[in-house]
Structure 1
């Protein structure tokens, strides 16, 4: 059996988007992928992030806000940045075989009442496409 594809999702605060992405990838395909998340300036998980995942019936077990420094020296098949700021700060992350830059609006700084739901839906759609492409034989 081959080892799982390791994916690190990065955004600035590791409060919303990268946490959603980590939990969603685990939920969508934990058979082929190992998901992690980190922030360039972690602030703790936004309570609405956890509320949205629970609303969707997705496990929040083990989620915590982490700095990218915690993963120094680890190898990842993909490092996926989820905001322009982290894309600029992470362009030279060591240990990344491939860096992908995805951009999603930060639901934590949005005044839209459905911001977290929209972010979760948009990130889930992108992850489903990523999984489809990366698991094709």
Structure 2
């Protein structure tokens, strides 16, 4: 039996994108992936991210926002940065096998100018679906 890939999904605040990626990897890829998520800093769980994931059938309400320093695990086969800020400020992780970047829009930033809750959630759903597609096709070939 082969060992699971240990993957860290890293974004700025570990409140939305990285939490979604961890949730999808845990729910849909658990036979192959041991997922973790963290942020450069921690902003707390974003309730709209929790809601968007629940709509997709994945419960991330028990996950917590954390920094890399708070992770009990320090060695990863992959570290995936999910935003430019995390890519530029990615901490040095001596136990990282491969670091890769996958850019996703920040739902809270997109939603800042929305005129209704439905429009706000539309941004979260779009990014959620993009992250799901990424996780389902992870790791990329090459």
The answer to whether TM tops 0.5 is yes
Task: After superposition, give the CA deviation of every residue in 1:49-101 in whole Å (9 maximum; x if it has no partner).
Answer: 10011111112253110111113761100000000000011163221100011
Q: How many residue pairs align between the two structures?
A: 134
Task: After superposition, give the CA deviation of every residue in 1:99-137 in whole Å (9 maximum; x if it has no partner).
Answer: 011110100111252111001101111111115759xxx
Return the offset for 1:44. 0.2
Separation (CA, whole Å) in 2 of partners of 1:41 and 1:25: 22
Q: Which runs of 5+ in 2 are unaligned?
A: none
| Structure 1: 4+ residue segments shifted above 4 A | 131-134
1:45/1:36 CA distance change after superposition, 3 Å: same
1:81/1:132 CA distance change after superposition, 3 Å: closer
In structure 1, what is the equivalent of residue 2 of structure 2?
2
Q: Is the partner of 1:31 in helix, strand or coil?
A: coil
1:4/1:65 CA distance change after superposition, 3 Å: same
Separation (CA, whole Å) in 2 of partners of 1:73 and 1:32: 17
Q: Are residues 1:129 and 2:134 paired? A: no
Separation (CA, whole Å) in 2 of partners of 1:18 and 1:3: 23
Separation (CA, whole Å) in 2 of partners of 1:129 and 1:32: 12
The alignment's C-alpha RMSD in Å is 1.9
Separation (CA, whole Å) in 2 of partners of 1:25 and 1:60: 11
Q: Which runs of 5+ in 1 are unaligned?
A: none
Task: After superposition, give the CA deviation of every residue in 1:20-59 in whole Å (9 maximum; x if it has no partner).
Answer: 0000111121011100100001110110010011111112
Separation (CA, whole Å) in 1 of partners of 2:140 and 2:10: 21
